[in-house]
Amino acid sequence: MSARVTDTDAAPRSPAEAVLDVRGLCVDYGVGRDAVRAVTDVSFTLRRGEVLGLAGESGSGKSTLAYAITRLLRAPGVITGGEVFFHQRSAPGGPVRKVDLLEADARELAGIRWVDLSMVFQSAMHALNPVARIESQLTDVLKRHRPDMAAADRRARAVELLGMVGITADRLRAYPHELSGGMRQRVMIAMALALEPSLVLMDEPTTALDVVTQREILDELMQLRERLGFAVIFITHDLSLLLELADTIAIMYAGRLVELAAATDLAAAPRHPYSLGLLSSFPALHGERVKMTGIPGAPPSLRTMPDGCKFHPRCPHAFERCSAEEPSLLALPGSRTRRTVSCWLHVGDRVPPEALGRPDPGTDAGAGHTQDVAIGGHS
C-alpha cells in the first residue's frame, strides 16, 4: 500500500511541483474594533516531499497559521484575506486539481482533510480520546474515508501503521493513558499517515518529550518521509532542531514571515537580524564557551504593535526607515537558492552589517561586501 506513493514521489526535493500555495494569508482574532491581527500577509509555496520548518516564538502566529491553512481555526479566529491553494492529486501521476481551501465547502474539505492533508497536534494527551482504545481510534479514520474496507483489513492496516512507528500490535487494545508520552505521539503520527496524505502539518509534535524520545521519533519520521514522500510543515520554537531536520526554514515574527531560506543557507548566512538573534540564542554543544546575549527586549503584544518593521525596537541595526515603513518579504537578488527576507538593510545601496551579509554556503563570493557589489552589478 505504501509502495504506491513511493514509486512516483520518490524524489522528495524535486523542485517541479507545488503541493501547497499560500498567498497573502491574514488571520484576525475578534472582529471590528477589538480585532487583533495574528497572521499578516503570509505567502509561501511548499513543494512535494519538502520539509518546511516554521520557527517562531510563542505568539508569533505559527500555530494560528497552521490552523488557518487546515481551516481548523475556531472563533474568535477569522481568516480575513488571502488564498490557500492545495494541489490535489487523485491518483499517482494523475491530473492535479487546484483547490482553494479557503473557498472549499464542508463536503470538499472532508474529502481533502486527512486524505491528502493531515495534522499532528501538539498535545497527544489532548488529541487522543481517553476512553477509546488505540485500535478504534486508528480504524475510525479508515471506516470514515474507506467505507468499502473490511473490518479485518482495517485492523491489519492499523497493525501495519503502528508497526511503521515502532509500536507492537499488542498495544492496539491499550487506552491512551496506558502508553508513555512518546508512544502516544507515535500513535498520533501513525494516525496522520493512515491515508497516505501528501502533506502533514506538525504543530510542536515533540516539544513535551524528552530529548532521547524526541530524537527517536524524529528519526522515524524522516525515514517514513523518505519512504512515503509526503511534505511536512514542522512547527516549533526550537530553531536548532529545525536546522537539522528541515529543507527550508521560515522564520515568523509578530505574525509575519521575516525570512524564508534553505536550512543550510539560513544556518550559515542569516539575512534578517531576528534570524541571526535566534541562531545566537542557542548555546553550542561544542567549542569555546562564549558569552551570548540573545535578543534584548521581548516580542511585541498583538495589541500594541510598533510602527514600521515590527522587530525594530529590538533590532541592533535599526535605522530611521525601519520605524517608519514596514518592509515586505522580497527575494534577495544574486542568491543561488530561493530566499526571501523582509528587512530594509538589504534594500537599495545599503551595505548590510557583516554578520548579515555573509555569503551563502557553497558560493565563491568572498566577504559580504564583495558579494553586495556583485549583486549591484547583476541587477
Partner 1 sequence: MTETSTAVVHGPKREGVPALEARRLTKHFPLTSLGERGRVVHAVEDVSLALPEKTVTAVVGESGSGKSTLARLLTGLIKPTSGELLLDGSPVGTSARERRAYTSDVHLVLQDPFSSLNAAHSVKYHIERPLKLHTKLRGAELEAKTVELLERVSLHPGTDFAAKFPHELSGGQRQRVAIARGLAVGPRVLLADEPVSMLDVSIRLGVLNLFDELRENENLAILYVTHDIASARYLADTIVVMYAGEVVESGPATQITDSPQHPYTQLLLSAAPDPSRGQAPVLRGKGSPPSLVTPPTGCRFHPRCPFAMPVCEERTPPPLPAGADQVAACWLLAPPTAEAASAG
State the residues that interact with partner 1 by CB under 8 A: 57-58, 180, 182, 210-216, 219, 222, 237-241, 243-244, 267, 277-278, 281-286, 289, 291-296, 298-299
CB nearer to partner 1: give 113 or 312: 312
Shortest Cβ distance from residue 250 to partner 1 (Å)?
A: 16
Q: Which of 49, 63, 41 is nearest to 18 (CA)?
A: 49
CB nearer to partner 1: give 82 or 205: 205
Report the alpha-carbon angle 172-178-180, nearest 5: 100
Shortest Cβ distance from residue 184 to partner 1 (Å)?
A: 12
CB nearer to partner 1: give 138 or 263: 263
Shortest Cβ distance from residue 218 to partner 1 (Å)?
A: 9
Indicate if the alpha-carbon torsion angle 259, 268, 224, 216 is positive or negative: negative
Q: Which three cell numbers stand for residue 293?
A: 546575549
Q: 204, 236 in Cβ contact below 8 A?
A: yes
Distance CA 72, CA 109 (A): 11
CB nearer to partner 1: give 222 or 374: 222
CB nearer to partner 1: give 231 or 267: 267
CB nearer to partner 1: give 237 or 338: 237
CB nearer to partner 1: give 296 or 333: 296
- What residue type is assigned to position 374 of the chain? A
DSSP annotation of 325 reads S
Q: What is the CA radius of gyration of the chain?
A: 22
Shortest Cβ distance from residue 83 to partner 1 (Å)?
A: 31
Cross-strand partners of 26: 81
CB nearer to partner 1: give 182 or 205: 182
Total count of residues recorded for the chain: 379
Shortest Cβ distance from residue 291 to partner 1 (Å)?
A: 7
Shortest Cβ distance from residue 244 to partner 1 (Å)?
A: 6
Three-class DSSP category at 4: helix
Shortest Cβ distance from residue 215 to partner 1 (Å)?
A: 4
Shortest Cβ distance from residue 274 to partner 1 (Å)?
A: 8
CB nearer to partner 1: give 156 or 298: 298
Would you report the helix, strand and coil content of the chain in percent, each value rounded to 5? Answer: 35, 20, 40
Helix (H) / strand (E) containing 246: none
Give the pairing type, strands 18-29 and 36-47.
antiparallel
Shortest Cβ distance from residue 57 to partner 1 (Å)?
A: 4
- What residue type is assigned to position 214 of the chain? Q
Helix (H) / strand (E) containing 38: strand 36-47
CB nearer to partner 1: give 93 or 287: 287
Shortest Cβ distance from residue 142 to partner 1 (Å)?
A: 29
Residue 270 burial (CB count, 10 A): 23
Distance CA 271, CA 355 (A): 8
Residue 66's φ and ψ, nearest 5 degrees, are -65, -40
Q: Which of 343, 302, 341, 299 is nearest to 321 (CA)?
A: 343
Q: Which three cell numbers stand for residue 337?
A: 537558492
